[in-house]
């Protein structure tokens, strides 16, 4: 089988697939149109996020048997078109679930205990204790939306902090030793911390908007390591200013480029987040550890080999 690699990934993908007698070609620079012209020559594609694989693209891949996305999200692929054309879709959410979970916990500890603020103050010769009094995770009710690989890994860690973890998911019967499944209304009534672990779909676009926030009974901390467009930033900023949202931890932004490589739009809401002591913003790196880079690649290789050798 001949496979086209469109993004740079861990070298183990190339090493192990070559050892299994796959034919590999790397192309990290060609444009969408250039790749479209030659995609018919390949049996498989391995991608991250550089090029969108829409229906037009897929229809030109007349010999495509699979698309492997090194990561979890599949929103840059026209999934219905791929399924209609009989193209297998492979991803590897197992590879970065642990790094995402640790990032969630890390951001919460930083924001709730004012660690970054207090550290910067001391480095600047300012010694404030009462003003930097923290807020404990112990005893908090944490609500997760989405209970796949990322949600489960996050629940496991937060349960160890003595949190009561509840979650809402569109699939039934997912409760386990770390978290209890509830309706969305029940989650809104109880959660003191809210964390998103969902894909970006037409149903989850702007899931957290003004109405959603107003329906949360408690003032709450908010974490998003899923997709930026799951959240209506304007409404989140308003709630942060009002105190309804006590602090925000954002690894993803509504204003990111589709490739996740940089900010696409700058406005007053983004400016407020970047300047606020109540906000932590990181550059889409929750799943971006040294260990996850290798694990993401290994899961992809294992799945390709299992299906096509």
Q: Which of 48, 114, 197, 227 is catalytic?
A: 227
- Please report the pLDDT score of residue 260 as a whole number: 78
- Please report the pLDDT score of residue 262 as a whole number: 86
Q: Which of 256, 261, 268, 308 is catalytic?
A: 256
Q: What angle do CA 291, 294, 296 make, to 5 degrees?
A: 105
Percent of the chain scoring above 90 in pLDDT: 94
Alpha carbon distance 203, 181 (integer Å):
20
DSSP alpha helix (H) spans, the chain: 12-19, 32-38, 55-60, 79-84, 97-112, 115-123, 149-159, 184-190, 210-214, 233-242, 268-275, 290-308
Specify whether 227 is catalytic. Answer: yes
Percent of the chain scoring above 70 in pLDDT: 100
Q: What angle do CA 250, 151, 53 make, to 5 degrees?
A: 75
DSSP 187-235: HHHH-SEEEE-----TTTTT-BSHHHHHT-SS-EEEEE-S-GGGB-HHH
pTM, to two decimals: 0.93
Specify whether 157 is catalytic. Answer: no
- Please report the pLDDT score of residue 14 as a whole number: 96
DSSP 259-270: TSSSB----HHH
For the chain, which residues score pLDDT lower than 50? Answer: none
Mean pLDDT of the chain: 96
Specify whether 133 is catalytic. Answer: no
- Please report the pLDDT score of residue 114 as a whole number: 97
């Amino acid at each position: 089988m001949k496979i086209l690699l469109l993004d740079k990934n861990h070298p183990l993908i190339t090493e192990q697939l070559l050892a299994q007698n796959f034919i590999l070609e790397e192309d990290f620079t060609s444009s969408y149109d250039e790749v479209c012209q030659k995609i018919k020559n390949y049996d498989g594609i391995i991608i991250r996020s550089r090029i969108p694989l829409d229906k037009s693209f897929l229809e030109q891949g007349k010999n495509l048997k699979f698309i492997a996305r090194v990561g979890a999200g599949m929103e840059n692929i026209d999934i219905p078109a791929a399924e209609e054309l009989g193209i297998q879709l492979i991803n590897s959410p197992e590879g970065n679930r642990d790094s995402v979970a640790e990032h969630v916990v890390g951001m919460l500890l930083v924001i709730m205990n004012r660690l970054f603020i207090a550290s910067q103050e001391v480095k600047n010769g300012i010694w404030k204790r009462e003003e930097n009094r923290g807020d404990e995770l112990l005893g908090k009710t944490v609500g997760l939306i989405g209970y796949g690989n990322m949600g489960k890994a996050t629940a496991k860690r937060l349960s160890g902090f003595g949190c009561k973890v509840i979650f809402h998911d569109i699939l039934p019967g997912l409760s386990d030793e770390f978290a209890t499944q509830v309706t969305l209304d029940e989650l809104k009534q109880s959660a003191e911390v809210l964390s998103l672990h969902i894909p970006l779909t037409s149903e989850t676009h702007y899931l957290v908007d003004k109405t959603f926030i107003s329906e949360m009974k408690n003032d709450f901390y908010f974490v998003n390591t899923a997709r930026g467009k799951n959240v209506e930033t304007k409404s989140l900023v308003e709630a942060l200013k009002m105190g309804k949202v006590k602090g925000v931890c954002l690894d993803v932004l509504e204003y990111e480029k589709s490739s996740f490589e940089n900010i696409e739009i700058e406005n007053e809401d983004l400016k407020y987040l970047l300047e606020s002591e109540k906000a932590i913003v990181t550059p889409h790196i929750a799943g971006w550890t040294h260990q996850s880079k290798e694990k993401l690649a290994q899961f992809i290789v294992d799945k390709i080999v299992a299906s096509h050798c």
